[in-house]
Amino acid sequence: MSKKTINNLIISIIVLTLSIGVCVYLFYEIDRKGVLLEEQVAILAENNSKENTYLNIKRTVQETEVERVNIANKFFKDENNNAINFLNEVESMAPSFGLVFKTEALDSVVDKDKKVQAIKMSFVYSGDKTDVMKFTKLMENIPYHSYIESLVLKELSSGVWEGKMTLIVSVKPS
């Protein structure tokens, strides 16, 4: 072989080795960029999902605004925007009189005579006759803007009496 052929062979081997090296490097970079692209696509999909969830929640909040206001208005509030704890007071007082107490109904109503929002509560209490009478008297004289709409007192058995009362309590005094 001539010297020129050997030089051409050496140059060809060097060029081939460099070409293979460049191809291997390019394939490695393409693979690495592919993995990076997959990660970025996953992050983008997650962000799109979060954005869709946010938009759905925002739309739901806007669509349910009226319903939420209606629900908030179902809670009994006084002029200071505090929940009225009157029923809790009555329920906690009854046992101190030795009575069994049960709330039957609790509704928000508009007092037809006074044209104000009121709470209509119906409850049943039972116990010794004197205790039932004392509790009834207390309910007649409670320091709230209220009146007794109906009251039924009856003897259940010897010495045990029951009171059924419907009480209207103004949410805001007239």
Which DSSP category does 77 fall into? B
Tens digits of residue pLDDT in 26-53? 999 999 999 999 999 999 999 999 999 9
The pTM of the full predicted model, rounded to 2 decimals, is 0.51
Alpha helices for 64-157 (secondary structure H): 65-74, 86-96, 129-140
Q: How many CA atoms lie within 13 A of 69 on its CB side?
A: 5
Other Cβ atoms less than 10 A from the Cβ of 142: the count is 15
Tens digits of residue pLDDT in 64-87? 888 877 766 655 555 544 445 677
